[in-house]
Each structure stands twice: as C-alpha cells, then as structure tokens.
Amino acid sequence: MSRSVRRLLWALAIAVPLFFLIIYLAIRTVSAELEERFYQSFDSVPTRVYSSVYWLKPGTGASLEELRFRLKERDYRDVGRPEQVQGPGTYALETDGARPLALTLYTNEFNYPALAKEMIFGNPEAVISPTRYVILFAGGEVNKVQDNTGGDASGAALEPTLVAQLNEGSVQARRTVNLSQIPHTLMKGIVLIEDTRFLEHPGIDIRGIVRSMYVNLRSGGYVQGASTITQQLAKNV
C-alpha cells in the first residue's frame, strides 16, 4: 500500500468521525435551543384570557337585567320552573316585576386555579363541580344562598368567560397537548407525507438531500425538497 493511500485512509479515519461528531453536537445544540424557545413561546403567554368568576354572594347587588345577561353569556338555559332545574347549565328565575325574587341555578363544572388560594370549596385543584343552588333576593341584592342540601352556602360561582384570544397575528387558536393526546394515525400520516425516514435519520436526511439533488438536476428545476420535520420545526420556531 502506497504512502499516499495510507495518508488518505488516515485522513478519512479522522475526518469521518469528526464530521459525525460535529453533526451530533450541532443537533444537540439546536434541539436544546428549540426546546427552550418552543416552551417559552407556548407556555409563557396564554393563548386565551378569561374573566374572573361571577359571584352571587349575600350582600352582592344584582339587578334582573344583569342576572339575565350573566347567564346568557355563559349559555345557561332558562327552563321556566324551579323543579325543572335538574342538570348543569339550567336555571329558573322568579321575579316581581323588574326585581328578582329567587334564582334556582345548576352551575357548570369548571376549573379556576385562582380559587385554590381562597380555598372556598376546600379543593386545592379548584375544580368546581356542578351544584344546584337556590339564591334568594331582597332589596335588589342577594340575601341568601342555599346549596343542594338545603344548607346555607357562602356563594355561588359562575364560570369565567372568554375575554380575549392571543394569537400573535395569526388566525389560529393553538393549544399545547401531550404526545399521547395526538391520534397515532395522524402522526403516521404526517410522517408519511413530510418525512418518511423520520425515525431513521438524526434530523438531517443525507440520503434525502442526495435524492433531491438528483431529481432536481434531472428535471432542470426545483421539483423536490429534502427538509425533514426537524428542519421544518427549526425554521418555523
């Protein structure tokens, strides 16, 4: 074996591992940067902004017009009579002219972490279960609130309403979900269309790049790309 061949082999023995080491370090660096930027962009700014809960507590002023407005904006359904209030999202309102006398209300379940600090419901996760209330009025304000056991309650809370949606200039409403929540067929379809060798390459598909170059050279124009799902994510984040 000639000296020049030995030098070439030594050069390849050093260059090839060095090349893959550089690729590996680059992918690790990009992955860490993507993870940091991805979670900052989706978790630090909420997609939707909600109002506070609407409280009906003893001593709280509540006109008939406001009560109907608050119930309507939350899609509560007027069932007419108190005995027909049997499920979440229903109510019956008894009035004396323009004044409310009694409100039989079956609230919806909702989650509101801010209530965990108040511990009003004794639930650290602040998941408010559907509850049937009877709310009595006197002199234009709430006089008494009774729960479904007939006992006095500190108040009845109506769920928050959507105030605004932050889309950063986009018409999309995105919601971060766990990988386990995405249908397997959807993931397979995306991989099949966008990056068939997604599970075989480290983020850059060398074979795909060579294939794309060959196809584009033969056609005399750009007809096929070679970007992987990883590269598309890096481009759009």
Q: What is the CATH number of the domain that holds 96?
A: 3.30.2060.10
Specify the pairing of strand 141-146 against strand 132-138.
antiparallel
Whether the pTM exceeds 0.85: the reply is no
Cβ neighbors of 175 (< 8 A, separation 6 or more) are 47
For 41, the token pair is: 């962009």
Tell whether the model's pLDDT for residue 7 goes beyond 80. Answer: no
Among residues 109, 142, 165, the one where a domain terminates is 165
Q: Is residue 7 part of a domain?
A: yes
Q: How far apart are the first and last CA of the chain?
A: 51
Pair 80, 160 in one domain: yes
CB 88 within 8 A of CB 109: yes
Q: Flag the least confident range among 74-83, 108-117, 153-162, 178-187.
A: 108-117
**Domain assignment of residue 81, given as a range:** 49-165
Is residue 145 located within the same domain as residue 227?
Answer: no
State whether 63 and 106 are in the same domain. yes
Q: What is the pLDDT of residues 171-193, one digit of tens each?
A: 556 667 788 888 889 888 988 88
pLDDT band at 218 (very low <50, low <70, confident <90, very high): confident
Same domain, 66 and 159: yes
The pLDDT score that the predictor gives to residue 120 is 46
Distance from the Cα of residue 36 to its chain's centroid: 18
Instruction: Report yes or no: 158 and 53 within 8 Å, Cβ to Cβ.
Output: yes
- My answer on whether 131 and 211 are in the same domain is no
User: 130 falls in which pLDDT band (50, 70, 90)?
Assistant: very high
Judge if 74 and 118 occupy the same domain.
yes
Q: In this predicted structure, which of 45-59, 101-115, 148-162 has the lowest mean pLDDT?
A: 45-59
How far is CA 26 from each of CA 19, 203, 234, rounded to the nearest angstrom?
Answer: 11, 10, 12
122 and 54, same structural domain? Answer: yes
Assign 8 a pLDDT band (cuts: 50, 70, 90).
confident
171 lies in some domain: no
Task: Indicate whether 172 belongs to any domain.
Answer: no
Q: How many domains does the chain have?
A: 3
Q: Report the pLDDT value the prediction gives residue 89, as an integer from 0 to 100.
A: 95
Residues 85 and 35 in one domain: no
> Is 148 found in the same domain as 61?
yes
Mark whether 141 and 70 lie in a shared domain: yes
In sequence order, which ranges of the chain are alpha helices (DSSP H)?
Answer: 3-43, 64-73, 115-118, 184-194, 206-219, 229-236
If asked whether residues 86 and 61 sit together in one domain, one would say yes
Distance CA 156, CA 134 (A): 9
* Cβ contact 145:105 at 8 Å: no
The residues, any chain, with a CB within 8 Å of residue 229's CB and separated by 6 or more, are: 190, 191, 194, 195, 198
Q: How many CA atoms lie within 13 A of 131 on its CB side?
A: 21
More confident residue, 2 or 140: 140
Contacts (Cβ under 8 Å, ≥6 apart) of 183:
none
Secondary structure (3-state) at 120: coil
Q: Report the range of poorest mean pLDDT among 66-75, 135-144, 211-220.
A: 211-220
How does pLDDT run across 87-114, given as a tens digit for each residue? 999 999 999 888 899 999 999 998 876 6
Q: Can you read off the two tokens belonging to residue 46?
A: 């909420």
